[in-house]
Structure 1
Amino acid sequence: MTTDLQNGAIHTTIDQKIATITFHHPSGNSFPSQLLQLLTDELNQLSNNPEVAIIVLKSQGEKVFCAGASFDELLAVSNLDEGAKFFSGFANVINAMRKCSKLIIGRVQGKAVGGGVGLASACDYVFATTNSSIKLSEFTIGIGPFVIAPAVERKVGVSGLAELTLAADEWQTAQWALQKGLYAKVFETIEELDNALNIFAEKLSNYNPEALSAMKKVLWENTDHWETVLYDRAAISGKLVLSDFTKKALEQFKK
């Protein structure tokens, strides 16, 4: 399956029970709302596909895994409803990843910012490279990583979330993410990452699918409340993006 937008695309292949979703956008593999919805829909479809045992989530290119939500759309938000809808995009994806019946392996080959960190955090197991540093920069423009915070906290803990959020202008290294539990494996090169990921995914795909699905549920126990929490958080961000502080900060970034 290939879905192309004017400035982005999602491509899915299925081979030997392994579904690989590849996303792309010219602006640092960022996500406009339409692309987020396509990813949500694709995850939901694969969740119900009996021919799929494992999902691999990856992006194109080498330097950036995902730069988060579309900055152009953020600038265009003009009222509370638009704000809540905009920030609900990542809520939809994270909930789809959480409820998906298949285990999701993340391939983080480069930097991740904002929502990109949320995507990595919502994966069940993540392979990364030493270049895969992370940053939650939302405070610098007057908002916060409220929607993705539960997913990030689930992996790195409250202290890790605080470190990422409050040091909004600082990058944390791939080694930091490995020590905190966000990344499971870190490799020097993309080639080494891909070799290890392929072997790992092939092994997993040959295990009992019922056992894999049951383990997925165990890993995500006590997160059913996210169905409400993430959208409440989206409303908070939607309100903040309309504040004078954020509008001024966005204008500075725009310049």
Structure 2
Amino acid sequence: MSTEEAYVKKHIENKVATIEFFHPAHNSLPGNILAKLADTITEVGQNDEVLVIILKSGGNRTFCAGASFTELISINDEQTGEKFFMGFANVINAMRKCPKFIIGRVQGKTVGGGVGLASAMDYCMATKFAAIKLSELNIGIGPFVVGPAVERKLGVCGMSQIAIDADSFYSPEWAKQKGLYAQVYETTEELDEAIEEFAQNLCNYNPEAVKEMKQMFWRGTEDWDELLNERAKISGRLVLSEFTKKKLEKYQ
């Protein structure tokens, strides 16, 4: 494993805030990184100097591997399980409530909770390497917390297809057809150029109009604070099941 340390960092330039997260285990997300990510999104969203947010991860070929298996393995009670899965809920809700448009940069494969993050972007751009998979069913749980965000983007049909077919990666082209990705590029360099140009163009819009449009796009999600909390309780219970414990033993 890489000796690099996990981080969440932000950079603000020309009214564009870039938030980047990283974890040496394929950008998996432990609780502390999820908490920092949610706090950073909320903080930047309240910054009047910022008009647009870009959300990205470090590294080349993996955008996000989803939940940290190391942390999942260590969960021994429902309260701890619920708290862990609330980490994903808090990030999605921070993105939902943020008054700025969030542009997603998905440079590589994304799994589980990572698909949830991509789905919660307001506009998501990717490379041809950015296949997606909802793998939760493989370990005896399901995409309960990220499900509402994924369903909002892919529809019930698309979400249920990848949730049930938990072994398969679905291509970036499939994800684009379903509405998850707005554009798919050949290289990361092309992706970065397109995102930079797009973000700068968005800075020319009226921030008040953007705020109102964001609320319009997310209409119908006002109950997500409660809904995602209930979903986190389901995941927190299932992660303690004998089935899941046996599955997770393989990763120790």
Following superposition, the deviation at residue 252 of structure 1 comes to: 2.3
Look up the match of 1:64: 62
Query: What is the identity, as a one-letter code, of the residue corresponding to 1:253?
Result: Y
Look up the match of 1:220: 218
Look up the match of 1:29: 27
Look up the match of 2:189: 191
* CA distance in 2 between partners of 1:208 and 1:118 (Å): 28
* CA distance in 1 between partners of 2:250 and 2:104 (Å): 33
* CA distance in 2 between partners of 1:142 and 1:98 (Å): 28
Runs of 4+ in 1 over 3 A off after TM superposition: none
1:7 aligns with 2:19: no
* CA distance in 2 between partners of 1:161 and 1:225 (Å): 20
Look up the match of 1:158: 156
Residue from 42, 46, 49 that aligns with 1:48: 46
Residue from 139, 142, 147 that aligns with 2:140: 142
TM-score normalised over the length of structure 1: 0.96
Question: Is the 2:118–2:124 Cα contact (8 Å) retained in structure 1?
Answer: yes
Look up the match of 2:168: 170
Query: What is the identity, as a one-letter code, of the residue corresponding to 1:126?
Result: C
* CA distance in 2 between partners of 1:241 and 1:121 (Å): 23
* CA distance in 1 between partners of 2:37 and 2:240 (Å): 27
* CA distance in 2 between partners of 1:70 and 1:250 (Å): 11
Following superposition, the deviation at residue 214 of structure 1 comes to: 1.0
After TM superposition, the structure 1 stretch with the greater mean CA deviation from structure 2, 245-254 or 131-140, is 245-254
Look up the match of 1:19: 17
* CA distance in 1 between partners of 2:248 and 2:25 (Å): 17
Question: Is the 2:5–2:23 Cα contact (8 Å) retained in structure 1?
Answer: yes
Query: What is the identity, as a one-letter code, of the residue corresponding to 2:238?
Result: L
Following superposition, the deviation at residue 182 of structure 1 comes to: 0.3
* CA distance in 2 between partners of 1:206 and 1:39 (Å): 26
Q: Secondary structure at the match of 1:147?
A: coil
Look up the match of 2:121: 123
Residue from 238, 244, 248 that aligns with 1:246: 244
Listed as ranges, the gaps of 5+ residues in structure 1 are 1-5
After TM superposition, the structure 1 stretch with the greater mean CA deviation from structure 2, 96-105 or 204-213, is 204-213
TM-score normalised over the length of structure 2: 0.97
Question: Is the 2:69–2:251 Cα contact (8 Å) retained in structure 1?
Answer: no
* CA distance in 2 between partners of 1:252 and 1:36 (Å): 24
Question: Is the 2:75–2:240 Cα contact (8 Å) retained in structure 1?
Answer: yes
Q: Give the total of aligned pairs.
A: 249
* CA distance in 2 between partners of 1:203 and 1:252 (Å): 48
* CA distance in 1 between partners of 2:7 and 2:249 (Å): 28
* CA distance in 1 between partners of 2:42 and 2:205 (Å): 22
Residue from 226, 230, 235 that aligns with 2:233: 235
* CA distance in 1 between partners of 2:5 and 2:165 (Å): 31
Deviations 1:3-23 (A, max 9, x none): xxx831011011111000011
- What is the identity percentage for the equivalent residue pairs of Structure 1 and Structure 2? 56
* CA distance in 2 between partners of 1:247 and 1:197 (Å): 41
